[in-house]
Amino acid sequence: DAKTTQPPSMDCAEGRAANLPCNHSTISGNEYVYWYRQIHSQGPQYIIHGLKNNETNEMASLIITEDRKSSTLILPHATLRDTAVYYCIVRVGRRGGGADGLTFGKGTHLIIQP
């Protein structure tokens, strides 16, 4: 699986859009980009994932560059409860052939300022 690079920490004002970058320059064609977050002391929570196209759900938007070497997670209106560590993970999609989990790095600690 491709390696990812994220900034260790970021600040964002409450009510503003939080844009979290992730570099994955060695990504291959069949690898998905996943985003999870971990609020202090809790288990990680799935946010969103995508392959090539931009994706949006009720939590966030995922923008993947055309060359797929980087992506951005967007939280459109950040609240204090969005303060958490955000993990960007690149993973080959598997269809019933076994799933040996995801590799979580150190992620980005996003701090939402009041």
Partner 1 sequence: NAGVTQTPKFRILKIGQSMTLQCTQDMNHNYMYWYRQDPGMGLKLIYYSVGAGITDKGEVPNGYNVSRSTTEDFPLRLELAAPSQTSVYFCASSPGTGGDEKLFFGSGTQLSVL
Which spans of this chain sit near partner 1 (rule: CB under 8 A)? Answer: 32, 34, 36, 41-46, 49, 87, 91, 93-96, 98-107
Least Å from the CB of residue 48 to partner 1: 10
Nearer to partner 1, 9 or 15 (CB): 9
Answer for the pair 66, 79: CB distance below 8 angstroms, yes or no: no
Tell me the C-alpha distance between 22 and 69, whole Å.
9
> How long is the chain?
114
Q: Which residues contact 100 (CB under 8 A, 6 or more apart)?
A: none
Nearer to partner 1, 14 or 55 (CB): 55
Nearer to partner 1, 68 or 91 (CB): 91
